[in-house]
Structure formats: structure tokens, C-alpha cells
Amino acid sequence: MTHSRPVGTPTRGTTNTNRLRRMDRWIAAVQGPALRRSDHPLAVDLGYGAAPWTTLELLRRLRTADPRCAVVGIEIAPERVEAARPYEREGLAFRHGGFEVPVAGRPLLIRAANVLRQYDEDQVRAVWERLCGRLAPEGLLVEGTCDEIGRRHVWVALGPSGPRTVTFATRLGSLDRPSDLAERLPKALIHRNVPGEPVHAFLRDFDRAWAAAAPYASLGARQRWIRAVRELGADWPLADDHRRWRQGEVTVEWAALAPGPGATF
């Protein structure tokens, strides 16, 4: 599949090894069953940046879920693709392209990490729709943002019909309070962290639950996080359980955090 003009604009290209490990770990757990059911489990790393490290890591981590998995890294900057070519091997390829996702067939995963932060909020819906339109029926688009060394992540998971969940993930030892993650909200939510918006209310309630769980800090940050998330679940529709909470994660139904009236989502 070829396209004369890729859709999108280049990112800054910032990349570090292990930057996306939290996102990858979640993907392997959540999307692993769909990969194993597929005859041709294909994943796309969209906008991998100036170096292909995170694409290589994605392949390695997905193959813990299914050894047959193949990954295609896609970059809109031709020089980044050429720089990545020497790393190609069985099950790993690099292509020049953008949001049109120039691969044969429909992937079971598209990971777009730190790609949409440079776009305007009102552009995100069209990008989501375009990428979701390329997914296999059981496919998943994971779009979100993290800091440069991978301590804090927030991502949205979308199926072919649209957004499903929002996941907050952190290295717990680096966290003063859950609302510290607000700076890593994806473009669809970051400008909505204001009073009157659901995501603002969620982070406010999370901070309150975290404060109430302070006595558990003597048992470690993990136990405090688990207690705070359990308390949070009394008022918010969580989509995971303690097995993920132990990893410093919590996943919330998208409908609970979706921007209010006037938003483009």
C-alpha cells in the first residue's frame, strides 16, 4: 500500500528507551487475547520518533502475549524511516506514512504515543476517526502522552466505534498526589481539566481519596494507591481491578470523563 502524501505533521521526535513501558505492559495484558485469536496479529507504532527504540520494545513486549505478533513502525519524516531500516528483521518493518496507516490489512493495535499533543483539540476527533477506521474488528487504538522518562502516562483506548476507557499510570514513588498526572492528559482532555468538566472532578476526587488513604503510606505507596483507587471506585466507573492497580494504574470508562457540552468529542 503506497500513498504519495502522508497525512499529518512530524513530531519533535523525542524518544528514550523504556519510555513507553507502562503503556506497552497494559496493551500486552488487555489486547493479548485478541492478538492470540488472530491469524495475523499485526500492530502499528505510529509516530515512533527520531529513533526506533520504542518500536523494538513494543515488538518484544507484544511477543510475550503472542510470539507471532508483527509490528510496523510508521513515521512521517522520511529520514527517520531510513535511519530505522537497519533494525528491520522478521516481524519488524518500518514505513513512511502518517494517519492513513500504510499497511496491508487492518491492524489489531495502533499505538500513537506523544503524537497528538501538537495538534489543536478540535483536530483530535477527525484523527481518532481516521485511525479507528483502519482497525480490525477486535482492534484497539491507544493514544496518549507520557513524560520523557516514562514515569507518568495517561492514554485513551478506542475501538473501531470510538473511545472506551482512559488509563492513568505512574511510577508510584514519583507521585505526590494523583492530580500530578494532569500534565500528561492527552489532547482530548488536557484543556478540559477545569472546574465543571468531568476530568477535573475525577482528579479532585482522586486527590481526596489519596489524602484519606494517607495512613496506608506506612505500608508503601502501592498500598496507598490501591486503597485510594478502591475508594474512588465507589463514585466512578472503573474498568479494571486490583491486578492492574498494583501496577500503579487505574482505568476509567471514557463516558465518565468525556468532555462536557460544546466539546468536539
- How far apart are alpha carbons 252 and 236 in whole angstroms? 7
Confidence band of 114 (pLDDT split at 50, 70, 90): very high
- What's the pTM value of the predicted model, to 2 decimals? 0.95
Average pLDDT, the chain: 95
- How far apart are alpha carbons 162 and 203 in whole angstroms? 23
Confidence band of 263 (pLDDT split at 50, 70, 90): low
Confidence band of 196 (pLDDT split at 50, 70, 90): very high
Each residue's pLDDT tens digit, 54-73: 999 999 999 999 999 999 99
| 10 C-beta neighbours (distance < 10 Å), count | 17
Residue 210 has pLDDT above 70, yes or no: yes
Torsion angle in degrees (nearest 10) through CA of 207, 211, 214, 215: -130
Residue 36 has pLDDT above 90, yes or no: yes
* pLDDT (mean) for 14-24: 91
Q: What is the pLDDT of residue 1?
A: 45
Domain coordinates in residue numbering, the chain: 21-169, 173-257
Strand pairing of 42-46 and 109-113? parallel
Give the HSE-up count for residue 76: Cα atoms under 13 Å, Cβ half-sphere.
Answer: 17
Give the least confident one: 106-110, 171-175, 261-265: 261-265
Per-residue buried b or exposed e for 148-163, using 16+ beta carbons within 10 Å of the residue's own CB? eebbbbbbbbbebeeb
CATH code for the domain defined by 21-169: 3.40.50.150
Confidence band of 113 (pLDDT split at 50, 70, 90): very high
Alpha helices in the chain (DSSP H): 21-37, 53-65, 78-84, 121-132, 187-190, 198-212, 221-232, 242-245, 254-257
Q: What is the pLDDT of residue 45?
A: 98
Q: Which residues on neighbouring strands pair with residue 247, listed in sequence order?
A: none
